[in-house]
């Protein structure tokens, strides 16, 4: 069984973690049960079963699977601690469990952690925000014969839905919605329920070496257009209780690499951004901040609520942009206080030939921040399009690949292939090029790129269901990858090919049901797919 996966990986095929889990759970005999104590002290159980192995390669593959499972769980849910229940007579399982502290670097300071340890950096910042007593994360190893029976909540939530009420709360107020992304910032101003201004500016926060380079433009935009009754901020990092606390995303990569300044001190200024924005709201006003993924799900929920749809299960969405964002909102409009860093998920345990490229090469499967292979960051957003184009087009559509080179959308830097960001950032133009090609008849190789992107969405759907267990089954998709109908149809095609029951919903003009979104849809220069989350941020600012 394990050797079959190894053979696929060796020839460059993806080996999805969901397929590995399905096989191991069906045929494995060795218990490796994971009990996760969450921030609210509830316990979530993941009863993994591992197969017997033969040789170092098979044992190494099983270990990578276990590490990826734990990494995905911690990236999504966070934890106060993890207990491993196993058969202590199984020396292989015991050795694997005893190595978790080393692999996840539990005893190292944040600045020395890498790889799997990156998720604990985020976890520590969240724990510091939630628990002043500074609890310490721990792994514990226990015998499966002593495993307690855990009863987990189940059933449909009875919370009252609030989404349909929010558009009416814009009346008589001046509100600012800010959508901060990896390549641009989009902003909208609502005055008494009317969309009075809508604009954007490009930037590259990954290149910033000081916090002020990131916070300065946002504060200036609020100052020039304020004061406001409330500000809604959509930010691409972990947000817990209105504070930006993650600090491990590509957007702060330049600051992390700046050895001249203390990174924790720099990131503290970003954590304080919501407080700094309070200067530009009226007395009694508020600033509400949330991660861009939850903002996507919140936005879709408000629009669907305005159309009278049933949101008793809440809503779950992804943003397909610079990276992949994930959002989960409950029926009452609240967002769980968990990291939800799904873009960090390791979904592919194969594709070995693509592991020879460094993370800055677009052909690489290595995350540019955790440096782990098979990370969703290189599969779910624009990086997935670039990687598939660079990997497949030279053989399947060499003329298209050469055109991308000739137009400066792809560039060789020695043996490394990149999408240039200097002197001009070509990421948007490169993505538009491949989307345009995929929309043309006869461009099968380019169309296959977006079908495979849909396949990745299906894998993410199954992995998020396994870890998060949301009641909502549909997935809303936001961002540039779905604004072109032809590309969205290809993504749908690839997704249902793998998961026939999966329903993907595009955040296009059909999303426009509230007054503000209808005004955006009628705007001659801007599209719903581009500015929907900025409008959603306006409604988010209206929550009590």
Nearest to 296 by CA among 436, 61, 477, 47: 477
pLDDT tens by residue, 337-353? 899 999 999 999 999 99
Residue 413 has a pLDDT of: 96
Looking up tokens 């009420």, which residue turns up?
A: 165
For residue 322, is it within any domain? yes
Residue 509 has a pLDDT of: 65
Q: Which tokens go with 219?
A: 């504060």
Q: How far is 340 from 171, CA to CA, in rounded Å?
A: 33
Task: Band the pLDDT of 460: cuts 50, 70, 90.
Answer: very high
Range of 483's domain? Answer: 312-337+377-512
Residue 29's Cα: distance from chain center in Å? 33
For residue 524, is it within any domain? no
**Domain match, 298 and 385 both:** no
For residue 157, is it within any domain? no
Residue 319 has a pLDDT of: 83
pLDDT tens by residue, 386-396? 999 999 999 99
Helices 444-468 and 427-438 sit at what angle, rounded to 10 degrees? 110
For residue 361, is it within any domain? no
| Three-state secondary-structure class, residue 265 | helix
**Domain match, 177 and 227 both:** yes
**Domain match, 21 and 43 both:** yes
225 or 296, higher pLDDT: 225
The CA angle 398-403-405, to the nearest 5 degrees, is: 95
**Domain match, 291 and 381 both:** no
Please name the residues in contact with 77: beta carbons below 8 A apart, sequence gap of 6 or more: 36, 38, 44, 338, 339, 467, 468
**Domain match, 56 and 14 both:** yes
**Domain match, 438 and 326 both:** yes
On whether the CB atoms of residues 266 and 255 are closer than 8 A, the answer is yes
Domain finish residue from 257, 290, 307: 307
For residue 129, is it within any domain? yes
Average pLDDT, the chain: 93
Q: How far is 448 from 491, CA to CA, in rounded Å?
A: 9
**Domain match, 275 and 213 both:** yes
What's the pTM value of the predicted model, to 2 decimals? 0.85
Q: Is the pLDDT of residue 157 over 60?
A: no
Residue 317's Cα: distance from chain center in Å? 10
Domain finish residue from 307, 324, 346: 307
For the chain, the domain total comes to 3
For residue 267, is it within any domain? yes
Q: State the first-to-last Cα distance of the chain, in angstroms, to the nearest integer.
A: 53
Residue 508 has a pLDDT of: 65
Strand partners, 327: 317
Q: Is the pLDDT of residue 111 over 90?
A: no
Q: How far is 258 from 236, CA to CA, in rounded Å?
A: 20
**Domain match, 11 and 69 both:** yes
**Domain match, 414 and 462 both:** yes
| Three-state secondary-structure class, residue 282 | strand
**Domain match, 210 and 259 both:** yes
pLDDT tens by residue, 263-278? 989 999 999 999 999 9
**Burial (CB count <10 Å: 0-12, 13-18, 19+), residue 59:** middle
For residue 517, is it within any domain? no
Task: Band the pLDDT of 435: cuts 50, 70, 90.
Answer: very high
Provide the b/e sequence for 413-429 (b: ≥16 CB within 10 Å).
eeeebbbbeeeebbbee
**Domain match, 320 and 460 both:** yes
Looking up tokens 């590509």, which residue turns up?
A: 250
| Three-state secondary-structure class, residue 539 | helix
Percentage with pLDDT > 90 across the chain: 76
**Domain match, 213 and 293 both:** yes
For residue 365, is it within any domain? no
Write out the DSSP string of 156-210: ---PPP-GGGTGGGGTT-EEEEEEE-SSEEEEEEEETTEEEEEEEEE--GGG--S
Residue 317: its H or E element: strand 315-320
| Three-state secondary-structure class, residue 313 | coil
Write out the DSSP string of 20-71: HHHHHHHH--EEEEEEEE-TTS-EEEEEEEE----SHHHHHHHHHHHHHHHH
CATH number of the domain bearing residue 465: 3.30.420.40
For the chain, the C-alpha Rg in angstroms (whole number) is 23
Residue 275 has a pLDDT of: 95
Domain finish residue from 100, 120, 146: 146
């Amino acid at each position: 069984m394990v050797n079959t996966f190894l053979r696929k990986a060796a020839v460059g095929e993806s080996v999805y973690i969901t397929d590995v889990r399905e096989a191991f759970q069906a045929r494995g005999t060795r218990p490796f049960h994971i009990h996760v104590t969450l921030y609210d002290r509830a316990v979530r159980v993941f009863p993994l079963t591992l197969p017997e192995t033969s040789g170092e390669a098979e044992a190494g593959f099983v270990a990578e699977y276990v590490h990826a499972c734990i990494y995905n769980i911690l990236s999504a849910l966070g934890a106060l601690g993890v207990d491993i229940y196993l058969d202590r007579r199984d020396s292989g399982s015991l050795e694997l469990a005893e190595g978790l502290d080393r692999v996840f670097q539990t005893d190292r300071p944040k600045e020395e952690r890498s790889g799997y340890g990156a998720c604990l950096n985020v976890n520590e910042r969240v724990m510091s925000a939630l628990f002043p007593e500074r609890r310490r994360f721990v792994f514990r190893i226990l015998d499966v014969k002593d495993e307690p029976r855990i009863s987990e909540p189940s059933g449909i939530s009875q919370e009252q839905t609030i989404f349909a009420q929010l558009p009416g709360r814009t009346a008589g107020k001046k509100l600012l919605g800010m959508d901060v992304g990896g390549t641009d910032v989009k902003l909208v101003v609502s005055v008494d329920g009317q969309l009075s201004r809508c604009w954007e500016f490009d930037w590259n926060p990954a290149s910033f070496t000081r916090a002020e380079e990131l916070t300065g433009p946002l504060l200036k935009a609020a100052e020039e257009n304020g004061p406001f009754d409330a500000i809604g901020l959509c930010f691409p990092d972990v947000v817990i209780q209105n504070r930006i606390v993650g600090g491990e995303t590509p957007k702060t990569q330049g600051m992390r690499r700046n050895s001249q300044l203390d990174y924790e001190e720099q990131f503290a200024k970003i954590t304080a951004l919501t407080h700094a924005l309070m200067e530009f709201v009226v007395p009694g006003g508020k600033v509400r901040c949330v991660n861009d993924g939850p903002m996507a799900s919140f936005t879709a929920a408000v629009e669907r609520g305005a159309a009278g749809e049933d949101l008793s299960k809440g809503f779950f969405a992804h943003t397909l942009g610079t990276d992949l964002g994930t959002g989960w909102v409950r029926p009452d409009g609240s967002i769980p206080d968990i990291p939800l860093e799904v873009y960090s998920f390791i979904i592919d345990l194969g594709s070995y030939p693509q592991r020879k490229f460094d993370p800055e090469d677009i052909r690489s499967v290595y995350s540019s921040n955790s440096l782990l292979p098979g990370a969703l960051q290189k599969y779910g957003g624009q990086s997935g399009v670039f990687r598939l184009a660079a990997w497949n087009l030279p053989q399947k559509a060499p003329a298209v690949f050469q055109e991308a080179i000739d137009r400066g959308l792809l560039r060789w830097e020695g043996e490394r292939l990149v999408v240039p960001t200097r002197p001009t950032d070509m990421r948007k133009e490169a993505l538009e090029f491949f989307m345009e090609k995929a929309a043309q008849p006869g461009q099968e190789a380019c169309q296959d790129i977006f079908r495979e992107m849909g396949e990745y969405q299906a894998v993410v759907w199954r992995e998020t269901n396994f870890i998060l267990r949301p009641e909502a089954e549909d997935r809303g998709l936001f961002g540039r990858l779905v604004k072109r109908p032809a590309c969205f149809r290809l993504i749908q095609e690839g997704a249902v090919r793998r998961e026939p029951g999966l329903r993907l919903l595009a955040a296009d003009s059909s999303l426009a049901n509230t007054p503000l979104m209808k005004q955006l849809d009628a705007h001659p220069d801007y599209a719903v797919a581009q500015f929907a989350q900025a409008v959603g941020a306006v409604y988010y600012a209206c929550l009590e």
